Amino acid sequence: MRIALAQLNYHVGNFPKNSERIISSIERAKAENADLVIFSELSVCGYYPNDMLERLEFITEALEAIDRIAAHCNGIAAVVGGPSFNPSPKGKMLYNSAFFLQDGKIRSIHHKTLLPTYDVFDEYRHFESNKDFTLVEYKGQKLAITICEDLWFNQKVMNAFGRENLYETSPMEEYCRQNPDLVINLSASPFSYHQEKLRKDILLEDAKKYRVPIIYVNQVGAQTELIFDGGSLMVDHHGKVVKELAYFREDFAIVDTLDQQLCELQPLTETNEKIYQALVLGISDYFRKSGFQKATLGLSGGIDSALTLVLAVSALGSENVKVLLMPSQYSSDHSVNDAVALAECLGVAYETVSIHGIAESFDEALAPLFHGLSHDLTEENIQARIRGSLLMAFTNKFGYILLNTSNKSEAAVGYGTLYGDMNGGLSVLGDLYKTEVYSLSQYINRNKEIIPLNTILKPPSAELRPGQKDSDSLPEYELLDAILYEYIDQARSVQDLIDSGFDEAVVRKVVSLVNRNEYKRFQAPPTLRVSSKAFGFGRKMPIVARYPL
């Protein structure tokens, strides 16, 4: 059987556009003599619609779109993803479903069994779990149609308390008792920098264990925080990859189930290249799908704003980015020069607005209130808030979107000012620790100097007071990030960290900072997710809490 894998970029709730892309791929598959074309999970409505699924008109439009798509399935069959109604009076109203379309109509509907409710997933909020494991017979082949998590029954999750034995039913066990010729999997598997290997390992192990080939079709593109990297696969019954589609872009390929000798793989890429591609795609889709075009940011001469600017230009083009330089009396000449050099290197327009006089006017206005008190963090935060106000005024006047430049280390310990440098419509680096920011910046400069070398080499500083360095308030970033990674990403306890050799006083200080700054992160912009534990809806912590003490 000739089977087309259609790896597309969907837009949540955009039924006309999603349907158009699906129908176009069906027609292409017909022209290339395919027997069957497969799309990804919830392809008709886009993944993930969240509480749009609680609106009857949304579900009705999704089902109407599937009927329109089915009308094009003559001489070919297709499998598309979308919500369907649960006919039972008990349980959730909806299923997360795969629709098998043939002869111009819906021939059968197959539902997702394993509904993830961890990390960024909340599917059991909306969907009922499948309990029917019926194969599809088509072109003399028996097909098992599964959806994403259904293949992840035996996932091995390190340091994830409560996820060792998450599910009771194995869909692969249920289907493979019936000896299918092929397992089809519609997926919406979001990117993180270790996900590609984990996902492949799961697919290869399933194929070898059950001695059955698997076709896995993932979506590509970004939906606010979530970035989907594609990488759709066909794996033979020996657990060997026969075909691998592109990463971070749409792709289309046809495989023949009778010819599995080829081994067409994508080139291997290092972690920094994956993160770079993911962030560029995340920015691009956030703007394109939201109807925005132009971006701005405050370019300080520091490494975070420099890296954010490079990524923004890669995603949107230099003609769609304009930056503000906002030096104060504490800004060093080399920081201003570095900012100008980068903007000119990238061909980005910039304006300089000094905040010195504005800060002095604040001091004057507040002098009666602050009489007899020395300058402290209050005045430093005022500088950050002045810059934030100037940037927001610029965005309002000219219709730009402000990109936030804070990194994960700063967000973790609260090293940022609400309504100041934490402003923005999208956080680009909020899931990169500071050491990862340096690493990605060096990747950017691998062939030639784009980010000024001085920006990378100089000690990081907010430049809010004379001679200030980040290390005045925080441990050195190599130590800080090591503790943060173990505590946040690996969910290790304070005692675990101390037992592994970190200084107890430093650990307790860092953990205290993380826990008491949840209120700041709650007010931060959405963050592009590139790790397995990003701040935002993938890490839900109470704001008012006192643990650990």
Cα dihedral 347, 353, 356, 360, rounded to 10, equals -150
**77 membership: H or E segment, kind and range:** strand 77-85
- Out of 45, 112, 128, 463, pick the active-site residue: 112
**Cis bond before residue 548 (omega within 30° of 0):** yes
41 catalytic per annotation: yes
Q: Is 148 a catalytic residue?
A: yes
Residue 429: what are its φ and ψ, rounded to 5°?
Answer: -105, 10
What element of type H or E holds 273? helix 271-290
- Grouping H, G, I as helix, E, B as strand and the rest as coil, residue 323 is strand
**Residue 351, φ and ψ in degrees, nearest 5:** -130, 145
Phi/psi for 206 (5° steps) reads -65, -45
Q: Which helix (H) or strand (E) holds 182?
A: strand 182-187
Please report the sign of the dihedral spanned by the C-alpha atoms of residue 450, residue 456, residue 460, residue 464.
negative
Report the DSSP beta bridge partners of residue 138.
Answer: 141
Catalytic residue among 41, 149, 380, 463: 41
DSSP, collapsed to helix, strand or coil, labels residue 187 as strand
**What order do you get walking across the sheet with 401-404 strand by strand?**
349-352, 321-325, 295-298, 401-404, 426-427
Alpha carbon distances (Å) from 5 to 36, 48, 399: 9, 21, 39
Dist. CA 47–CA 67, nearest whole Å: 19
Distance CA 243, CA 236 (A): 9
Do 291 and 320 meet the contact criterion of CB atoms below 8 Å apart? no
Active-site entry in 73, 123, 128, 148: 148
Distance in angstroms (rounded) separating the CA atoms of residues 452 and 456: 7
Task: Tokens for 290, please give them.
Answer: 């939201």
Catalytic, 345? Answer no
How many helices and strands, by DSSP H and E, does the chain display? 16, 19
CA nearest neighbour of 438 among 313, 312, 275, 284: 275
490-514 burial, b at 16+ Cβ within 10 Å, e below that, comes to: eebebeebeeeebeeeebbbbbebb
Q: Taking each helix axis from N to C terminus, what angle separates 434-444 and 271-290, rounded to the nearest 10 degrees? A: 90
Show which residues are catalytic.
41, 112, 148
